[in-house]
Amino acid sequence: MTDISMNADQLVKLDRECMWHHIIQHKIFDAVEPTIMVEGKGCMVKDVHGREYLDGLSGGVWCINVGYGEDRVSDAIHRQLKKLPYYAGSAGNPPSILMAKKLTELMPYLQRVFISNSGSEANEKAFKISRQYNRLKGKDKYKIIYRERDYHGTTFAAMSATGQPERIMGYEPLLPGFYGIPPVYCYRCSLGKTYPGCDIACARALEKLILAEGPDTVASVILEPITAGGGIIVPVDEYFNVIQEICKKYDVLLIMDEVVNGFGRTGKMFGHQHWDVKPDMLTTAKGIASSYMPLSVTMATNDIFKVFLNDPGDTLAYFRDISTYGGCAAACAGALENIKIIEDSKLCENSEKMGSYLMEGLKEFESLPFVGQVRGKGLFVGIELVEDKKTKAPVSEGLAGKVVAAVKEKGVLIGKMNRSISGYNNVLTMAPPLIIKKDEIDRIVTAVKYALEKCRI
């Protein structure tokens, strides 16, 4: 039963019998075989039947940044596993210390690194730090503001900070103390405005909300630099200046969620580095070790950290948080090597260059009647499909899925957003490994063209 070399049919049968897959209606497996991947090299993955695909999704959820089969990462992990696989609690180990040092060099404005396992968990820590930090300073600032359409994770606080009702419905009640501001989504401005005449009202909504809730009660605001799962939405250039100014004015900590954006995905090492903004805290995961191991971090300034040192006695005034696997030595060793590869091989530059090339190829499809907008930054691109370009009405349910299936026929994997409750979130997504080359981009564009034509878009 434990033989992973068993044949394809046996594995498919067992998958159908035992697995409960993430974020999918299992009924689909009555008609469609579950996908089972068995190996990968570079940008290519092979499924259990031996079919090869160009992975335009970096492992399904945008995280294999250096590609598959990168021996430098797996060897670093293996070496560390043999030397010291694990020792955690309140202790450190050389790879975690060196990784922390490296991250603070990449972002000198953030000097402390707290290590955990997943993006959701990293955000939980950020929320806890932002609340306790304020309480240690004698303030009861506890409210947390998020942006509609942003996603911050699956755990309850992270979900309470998530602006996608489709991820929440059925799991309520959420936690109290979380409040949303409008998305920075010019294609469908929820405030009915048009850029640039809008005075960035979606960012200024933050100030209105802080004033309405009471500045003395608001601890932090969490934002993705570029909204990922909510539709690959790139903010306008002025956005973060306005946000940062408001945060400073009301002593609200700015938390940047770089779980997807981080490590070259958008053409810079971190997404927020496209703009002149310095977060007080930052969370990241996925690309940090290219997901060869689970790993996430929560970073903070020394100004925040120092407040946790002001213990006047035995008051438990320190960050009383622990994750058993936080600081896993092997994961951190993998991350260190992964970051070195991103730097040595200039993968941020490649992400920017190949991303522009991909965008150029896909932009042509904007002339098609059902392609509303092609958008993105670096190797992170989305195509929003609409029934009608004028009304921007959503395409019928299932069409995005048909396009993805048609792209797959051509041996290329791309993704789509899950349907949103408001119906419009029909966005095709592309986020290939950062090592991708021009001819592979051509293959993606050709496959998307074939699929859009086949599905009559």
Residue number with the smallest Cβ distance to ligand PMP: 119
> CB of 12: closest distance to ligand PMP in angstroms?
26
> CB of 123: closest distance to ligand PMP in angstroms?
6
How crowded is residue 197: how many other Cβ atoms within 10 Å of its Cβ?
Answer: 7
Under the binding rule (CB under 6 A), the answer on residue 377 touching ligand PMP is: no
Q: How would you label 312-339 residue by residue, b for 16+ Cβ within 10 Å and e otherwise? A: eeeeebebeeebebbbbbbbbbbbbbbb
Residue (63 or 252) nearer to ligand PMP, CB:
63
* Spatial separation of the C-alpha atoms in residues 225 and 163, rounded to whole Å: 15
Q: Is the peptide bond before 34 cis (omega within 30 degrees of 0)?
A: no
Residue (143 or 152) nearer to ligand PMP, CB:
152
> CB of 120: closest distance to ligand PMP in angstroms?
3
Under the binding rule (CB under 6 A), the answer on residue 259 touching ligand PMP is: yes
Q: Tokens at residue 19, please?
A: 């697995």
Under the binding rule (CB under 6 A), the answer on residue 434 touching ligand PMP is: no
Residue (175 or 211) nearer to ligand PMP, CB:
175
Question: Which of 219, 260, 297, 328 lies at the binding interface for ligand PMP (CB under 6 A)?
Answer: 260
Residue type, 230: G
Question: Which of 207, 257, 352, 384 lies at the binding interface for ligand PMP (CB under 6 A)?
Answer: 257
Under the binding rule (CB under 6 A), the answer on residue 183 touching ligand PMP is: no
Under the binding rule (CB under 6 A), the answer on residue 288 touching ligand PMP is: no
Pairing state between β 371-376 and 381-388: antiparallel
With beta carbons less than 8 A apart as the criterion, state whether 176 and 212 touch.
Answer: no
* Spatial separation of the C-alpha atoms in residues 262 and 445, rounded to whole Å: 24
How crowded is residue 2: how many other Cβ atoms within 10 Å of its Cβ?
Answer: 4
Residue type, 10: Q
Residue (298 or 351) nearer to ligand PMP, CB:
298
Question: Which of 58, 120, 298, 426 lies at the binding interface for ligand PMP (CB under 6 A)?
Answer: 120
Under the binding rule (CB under 6 A), the answer on residue 285 touching ligand PMP is: yes
Question: Which of 43, 126, 157, 228 lies at the binding interface for ligand PMP (CB under 6 A)?
Answer: 228
Pairing state between β 112-116 and 296-300: antiparallel
Question: Which of 11, 48, 61, 417 lies at the binding interface for ligand PMP (CB under 6 A)?
Answer: 61
* Spatial separation of the C-alpha atoms in residues 351 and 217, rounded to whole Å: 40
> What is the per-residue binding string for ligand PMP in 149-178, x denoting contact by CB under 6 A?
--xxxx------------------------
User: In this chain, which stretch among 47-55, 148-156, 326-334, 401-409 interacts with ligand PMP, using CB under 6 A?
Assistant: 148-156
Applying CB under 6 A, what is the total number of residues that bind ligand PMP? 16
Under the binding rule (CB under 6 A), the answer on residue 229 touching ligand PMP is: yes
Pairing state between β 393-394 and 412-413: unpaired
Q: Tokens at residue 257, please?
A: 């969620």
> CB of 394: closest distance to ligand PMP in angstroms?
22
Question: Which of 58, 116, 118, 266 lies at the binding interface for ligand PMP (CB under 6 A)?
Answer: 118
Under the binding rule (CB under 6 A), the answer on residue 270 touching ligand PMP is: no
Residue (273 or 440) nearer to ligand PMP, CB:
273
Scanning the structure block, which residue is given the tokens 């806890």?
128
Q: How many helices (H) and strands (E) does the chain have?
A: 12, 16
DSSP 366-380: GGSTTEEEEEESSS-
Pairing state between β 253-257 and 415-416: unpaired
8-state DSSP, 321: -
> What is the per-residue binding string for ligand PMP in 197-226, x denoting contact by CB under 6 A?
---------------------------x--
* Spatial separation of the C-alpha atoms in residues 429 and 262, rounded to whole Å: 17
Contact set with ligand PMP (CB under 6 A):
61, 118-120, 123, 151-154, 224, 228-229, 257, 259-260, 285
